[in-house]
Chain A
Amino acid sequence: MAKAVQRLRKNKPALFGIIVIGIACFLAIFAYVLVPDATPNGNNQIPQIALKNPGFSCQILAVRKNIPVQKRNIISRLWQGESSVYKLLPIENYQILGDSIFAKEYADAEDYSVPIYHRLHLLDVVYPLALTQKNIEKKDKDYVFQNVDNELIRVVESDVVKVIEQEQMYTQTFYLGTDRFGRDMLSRLIIGVRISLLVGLIAVVISLTIGILLGAIAGYFGGRVDTVISFLINTVWSIPTLLLVFAIVLALGKSIVNIFIAVGLTMWVDVARIVRGQVLAYKEILFVEAARSMGFQTPRILMRHILPNILGPVMVIASANFATAILIEAGLSYLGFGIQPPTPSWGTMLNENYGYAISGKVSLALVPALAIALLVLAFNLLGNGIRDALDVKGIS
């Protein structure tokens, strides 16, 4: 085993695969800490800057929504993100006059419609104001107002201006551009890696469980049990994977969990075939017969004596299945049959953006497409690496 790990380490393509998978896992776990748009599902829509090319940047004025602070613990923030208490307003320029800020809304250079100006009270930009409040009192150079929690607050005017200019006005760069709702593509891409990894993981767990169980039973006991299980394997084998997934999703409904189940339920066949063949070969070998003659029980023989020996091929097939699961989920979502918006999945992003690619936003479709290909490649390279390291034959 240690030798195999060493061989795997020397295999450069496999190492590349492992690094990519590692990065993907890291991004998936810390997605909401890393992304620029940490709202749930990366779904903060800024319609004014929809469909921008990668590298687009503009000045943003963050306007405080008049809602109280939502308190969520750090784990839930890490897991689901947090909806923002700021409304993001893309602006071209601004001016502060008296108690108000005048901002010219961002507009495309080719957009010749009437420019839109916003007039916002300085306090409204910085603080959540009580909706019942009629007017804001000004005493000397201070403002006195009521916030959403109905507390009376007194602030210095110059402080308010400072907060706006230093903290709530910034230039944001959209490194991968924005989609048709003005959502940050980079954020959605990073959050989307979660679905891909999750579908791979769950599908592999399901397919390994069913596949090893049925394959081992068929291979070990043989006879009528084997005939029945082999027939089942052959039958499912004759149904194209995608059609079976479609059918299951159609019957169960299009939820995330159902898609995971459907993908898992179609891939156990590969595992079962391999395991059955291997168990068939191993059960005649001397050490298994020895175990049997010592009176060990069947489950123990299977678990302790046979399974460890066929772990190699199983790992290879698991890695290949991981790649296939990612591919199928993205494909389903691309056809509009998988993960439903607004949850970002790479396939869904492909589906949403392919239409806009034709209007010159080629990168919108290319980026998720290449991301899918890269992750699938990584798992295939890892699978090949394991195969070479353990010298498993006969599985492609």
Chain B
Amino acid sequence: MQLIKYLLQRILSGFAVLFAVILIITSIIYLAPVDPTQLTFGQRADAETIDQKREELGLDQPLYVQLGLYIADVMPLSIHANTKKAQAKYSYIKLLPLGNKALVLKKPYLRESYQTGRLVTSILAEAIPKTIILAFCAILLATIIGIFLGVIAAVKQNSWLDNSAVVGSVLGYSLPSYVTAIVLALVFGYLLADYTGLQIKGSIIELDDFGDEQYVWKNLILPTIALGIRPIAIITQLTRSAMLDVLAQDYVRTAKAKGLSPTKVIIRHAFRNALNPVVTAISGWFAALLAGAFFVENVFSFKGLGDVTVTALLNFDIPVVLGAVLFTACVFVVINVLVDLVYVLLDPRVRLE
């Protein structure tokens, strides 16, 4: 019962944060001095078409009204015109008619790209799976290697293995992802391309000569490593210090004293209790990677969320940028709630507030 109450509380506060994020980001971006009609039509449209488009986008209204319209579009539960046209645009389910308006339930409508005219939802739907695969692979790699190195470094404290793990993790942490990506791309995708068979750029889904989509899994290798290096460094560091704290405690000594094998002590008794900070770090990085690895995806032209966002930003394609930001914020909030849950499950001592 307590758990459910706690969960509800967290979800509610999550929604509040999400709403605030939407408000902040949309207000900032709506301040940008951009004329979307220029972007949509280029310079060749007549004044009438432009005015029509401006009206359609609500650009003739003051900023706060535009902001309100956008938020109304995004909210699943909102009020829209009670007409066939609006129904087709939002494909909503009418809940309550209010004169010429109606309270409706719908999927978030993220509008259309200024640049291509495609629905932002479909652009994102194409990009997100690639980013999820990449983020998952990178975090998996980082978790396995990071925890392994961290545990070894802690168990063999002050050995050369430990020292090099410590130095290596600071080094790894200081490598910006774009630097790693560029170096990897140049070395393994270009200089040694004959031996590795890897490409300097490319996504996991590429069009072949006949225009069909093809999965090119090897294009996942370099981006995964490039993205994984910093999380590896951090997870190693955190695992090491958490393990050191735990290993110094009495119950570990007890476990050793009662004659358990060292491996058993480390895995059963020490490691489980050292997991908490590591889980936070992993989940935080996973959320950050899901937000789109802007740099790595850009270097490798991965065409995931990060790549799409950067391209949209460079082209001032605001609906796409906003859509990506909203998705990202959702991911952050949801993952934070999940992590709190995992804490409760992992460590019964964590009290539910």
Interface residues of A (CB under 8 A from B): 13, 231, 234-236, 238-240, 242-244, 246-248, 250-251, 253, 323, 327, 330-331, 334-337, 350, 354, 357-358, 362, 365-366, 369-370, 372-373, 376-377, 380-381, 384, 396
| 7 cross-chain pairs, A with B, having the tightest CB-CB distances, nearest first | A377-B174, A251-B31, A235-B20, A240-B291, A369-B179, A238-B332, A247-B28
Central interface residue in A331, A337, A384, by most chain B CB within 10 Å? A331
B88 at the A interface (CB under 8 A): no
Q: Which one of A242, A331, A362 contacts B191 once the chains associate, using CB atoms below 8 Å?
A: A362
> Besides the contacts A243-B25, A250-B34, A250-B321, what 15 more A-B pairs have beta carbons closer than 8 Å?
A13-B170, A234-B17, A235-B17, A235-B20, A238-B17, A238-B18, A238-B336, A243-B324, A246-B309, A247-B28, A335-B298, A350-B178, A365-B186, A369-B179, A373-B175
B17 CB contacts on chain A under 8 angstroms: 231, 234-235, 238
B197 at the A interface (CB under 8 A): no
For the complex, give the distance between the alpha carbons of A391 and B16 in Å: 37
Central interface residue in A250, A358, A370, by most chain B CB within 10 Å? A250
Contact A251 B176, beta carbon cutoff 8 Å: no
A362 CB contacts on chain B under 8 angstroms: 186, 190-191
Within the complex, what minimum Cβ distance (angstroms) separates B118 from chain A? 21
Within the complex, what minimum Cβ distance (angstroms) separates B309 from chain A? 7
Count of inter-chain pairs, beta carbons less than 8 A: 122
A366 CB contacts on chain B under 8 angstroms: 182-183, 186
A373 in contact with B182 given A238-B18, A240-B328, A243-B328 (CB within 8 Å): no
Contact residues of B between 306 and 353, Cβ < 8 Å to A: 309-310, 313-314, 316, 321, 324-325, 328-329, 332-333, 336
**Residue of A with least CB distance to B299:** A354
B333 CB contacts on chain A under 8 angstroms: 238
B1 at the A interface (CB under 8 A): no
For the complex, give the distance between the alpha carbons of A358 and B179 in Å: 15
B135 at the A interface (CB under 8 A): no
Interface string of B33-44 (1 = CB under 8 A from A): 110000000000
Within the complex, what minimum Cβ distance (angstroms) separates B184 from chain A? 11
B238 CB contacts on chain A under 8 angstroms: 396
Interface residues of B (CB under 8 A from A): 16-18, 20-21, 24-25, 28-29, 31-34, 167, 170-171, 173-176, 178-179, 182-183, 186, 190-191, 200, 234, 237-238, 288, 291, 294-295, 298-299, 309-310, 313-314, 316, 321, 324-325, 328-329, 332-333, 336
Contact B336 A251, beta carbon cutoff 8 Å: no
- Please, could you name 30 A-B residue pairs with CB atoms under 8 Å apart, sorted by A? A231-B16, A238-B336, A240-B291, A240-B332, A242-B291, A242-B294, A243-B324, A243-B325, A243-B328, A244-B25, A246-B309, A247-B28, A250-B28, A250-B316, A251-B29, A251-B32, A253-B33, A323-B174, A331-B294, A335-B313, A350-B178, A350-B182, A358-B190, A365-B186, A369-B178, A369-B179, A369-B183, A373-B176, A376-B175, A381-B170
Q: Which one of B31, B179, B309 contacts A243 once the chains associate, using CB atoms below 8 Å?
A: B309
For the complex, give the distance between the alpha carbons of A240 and B167 in Å: 28
For the complex, give the distance between the alpha carbons of A323 and B174 in Å: 8
A239 in contact with B21 given A247-B29, A336-B314, A396-B238 (CB within 8 Å): yes
Contact B309 A372, beta carbon cutoff 8 Å: no
For the complex, give the distance between the alpha carbons of A272 and B178 in Å: 28
Contact B294 A372, beta carbon cutoff 8 Å: no
**Residue of B with least CB distance to A253:** B33
Within the complex, what minimum Cβ distance (angstroms) separates B187 from chain A? 8
Contact B325 A247, beta carbon cutoff 8 Å: yes
For the complex, give the distance between the alpha carbons of A155 and B324 in Å: 71
Contact B313 A331, beta carbon cutoff 8 Å: no
A238 in contact with B295 given A13-B167, A13-B170 (CB within 8 Å): no
A236 CB contacts on chain B under 8 angstroms: 24
A243 in contact with B170 given A362-B186, A365-B186, A373-B175 (CB within 8 Å): no
B288 CB contacts on chain A under 8 angstroms: 240
B16 CB contacts on chain A under 8 angstroms: 231
For the complex, give the distance between the alpha carbons of A358 and B288 in Å: 30
**Residue of A with least CB distance to B26:** A247
B309 CB contacts on chain A under 8 angstroms: 243, 246
B200 CB contacts on chain A under 8 angstroms: 358
**Residue of B with least CB distance to A234:** B17
Contact B29 A250, beta carbon cutoff 8 Å: yes
Q: Which one of B21, B170, B178, B328 contacts A331 once the chains associate, using CB atoms below 8 Å?
A: B178
Within the complex, what minimum Cβ distance (angstroms) separates B242 from chain A? 11
B179 CB contacts on chain A under 8 angstroms: 369-370, 372-373
**Residue of A with least CB distance to B187:** A362
Contact A335 B294, beta carbon cutoff 8 Å: yes
For the complex, give the distance between the alpha carbons of A236 and B28 in Å: 13
**Residue of B with least CB distance to A238:** B332
**Residue of A with least CB distance to B318:** A250
For the complex, give the distance between the alpha carbons of A376 and B180 in Å: 13
Contact B291 A384, beta carbon cutoff 8 Å: no
A235 CB contacts on chain B under 8 angstroms: 17, 20-21, 24
Central interface residue in A243, A336, A373, by most chain B CB within 10 Å? A243
For the complex, give the distance between the alpha carbons of A235 and B13 in Å: 10
**Residue of A with least CB distance to B330:** A238
A354 CB contacts on chain B under 8 angstroms: 182, 299
**Residue of A with least CB distance to B181:** A369
B167 CB contacts on chain A under 8 angstroms: 13
Within the complex, what minimum Cβ distance (angstroms) separates B288 from chain A? 6
A369 in contact with B18 given A240-B291, A247-B25, A380-B173 (CB within 8 Å): no
Contact A369 B182, beta carbon cutoff 8 Å: yes
Contact A246 B171, beta carbon cutoff 8 Å: no
For the complex, give the distance between the alpha carbons of A124 and B295 in Å: 50
Contact A334 B295, beta carbon cutoff 8 Å: yes
B328 CB contacts on chain A under 8 angstroms: 239-240, 243
A239 CB contacts on chain B under 8 angstroms: 21, 24-25, 325, 328-329, 332
B32 CB contacts on chain A under 8 angstroms: 250-251
For the complex, give the distance between the alpha carbons of A103 and B175 in Å: 47
**Residue of A with least CB distance to B312:** A246
B321 CB contacts on chain A under 8 angstroms: 246-247, 250
For the complex, give the distance between the alpha carbons of A24 and B230 in Å: 24
Central interface residue in B171, B179, B333, by most chain A CB within 10 Å? B179
A376 CB contacts on chain B under 8 angstroms: 174-176
For the complex, give the distance between the alpha carbons of A373 and B295 in Å: 15
A248 CB contacts on chain B under 8 angstroms: 28
For the complex, give the distance between the alpha carbons of A240 and B285 in Å: 11
Central interface residue in B176, B333, B336, by most chain A CB within 10 Å? B176
Contact A327 B21, beta carbon cutoff 8 Å: no
